[in-house]
Amino acid sequence: MEQKIDRSEWRRNAHDLLFSRLEVPFYSVTWRVDVTDAVKWAKAHGVSFYAVLMWATMKAVNGVEAFRYELRGADVYLLDHRNPSYTYQWDDELFGICGVEWKDGESPTDFAARCRAAEADNPSPIPTAEADEAGHDVYISSLPWIDYTHISQEFPLDNTDSTPRILWGMFSDDEKGRKTLSYTVQVNHRLIDGVHLKRLYDALNGAICALEEY
């Protein structure tokens, strides 16, 4: 269940008010992620690497409380969980957008199967405005053709926008033969600081390591 936050008791209230003065309180950080084990696991289990990394991403996001805060006007809520709203290849030229409910404890294989089913049943590549605004999402996408070093993402000029935006690029082999990729997280500074990004960083690495349990 979601929980409405009592601002008088919320330790972050002053920080939120500080950044609420800005029209654009958003910032993004890019780091490299070692996905060697995720690539191996995906190949061994016949599962899309994209779905595997999305599973690991959602497991990490929902494990860091700061990423589950949501602004609604002057109010703040703590969500029970967030769901992925993600892009995928609709045809040779266009991408589609699809969303599924996050189920805590679900295996990567079952998660990937639900994503495939949702994509197959998706009636249109772009959801209606009503569908797009439903749920409490994390926007996920990839740029699998480019090993980029910097990227900026679109966002509305609404400083209450609380949706984390996560994107990654093409993986490549480093000097040790490990597969790494650029991983970008865009957040609202009203809710998320650098320390929370470090927790996400650790949680993502932990989720990739946890693949061996499935």
The better pLDDT of the pair 100, 132 is held by 100
CB 212 within 8 A of CB 37: yes
- For residue 130, pLDDT over 80 is answered with no
Mean pLDDT of 52-78: 97
72-100: pLDDT as tens digits? 999 999 999 999 999 999 988 899 999 99
- For residue 49, pLDDT over 60 is answered with yes
Question: What's the pLDDT score for residue 131?
Answer: 53
| Whole-angstrom distance, CA of residue 14 vs CA of residue 17 | 5
- For residue 138, pLDDT over 90 is answered with yes
- Give me the CATH code for the 3-213 domain, please: 3.30.559.10
For residue 84, the Cα-to-chain-centroid distance in whole angstroms is: 7
Q: Among 9-18, 170-179, 193-202, whose mean pLDDT is lowest?
A: 170-179
Neighbours of 4 (CB within 10 A): 10
Helices assigned H by DSSP within the chain: 13-19, 36-45, 49-62, 108-120, 129-133, 194-209
Question: What's the pLDDT score for residue 133?
Answer: 56
Question: Could you state, in order of their start, the residue ranges of all structural domains in the chain?
Answer: 3-213
